[in-house]
Amino acid sequence: MEKGDRLVKDIFVLRLWRKSDDPLFWRGEVQHVNSGEKQYVHSAGDLLDYLQRQLAEPEERPSDKDGLR
């Protein structure tokens, strides 16, 4: 990182829950705190896809118009 480079911080909240009778069954919700956007996930692949979209280059990712909440 060069001096003067802008550091962009993205904050995520991840909530996971599972069925008590089936520990392999889980669901989750991930929230991008910066934008307030929430996404329900049903697999690790869903979670990674969401994170990749959120962490894409600024011109490729969803708008952070409301800022940090």
Q: How far apart are CA 3 and CA 44, in angstroms?
A: 36
Q: Per the structure block, which two tokens stand in for 55?
A: 């962490």
Give the pLDDT confidence of 3-62 residue by residue, as tens digits: 777 887 899 999 999 988 987 889 999 999 988 999 999 999 999 999 999 988 666 555
Residue 12 and residue 41 in contact, taking contact as beta carbons nearer than 8 Å: no
pTM of the predicted protein model: 0.67
pLDDT of residue 8: 79
Q: What is the dihedral of CA 49, 67, 30, 1, to 10 degrees?
A: 50
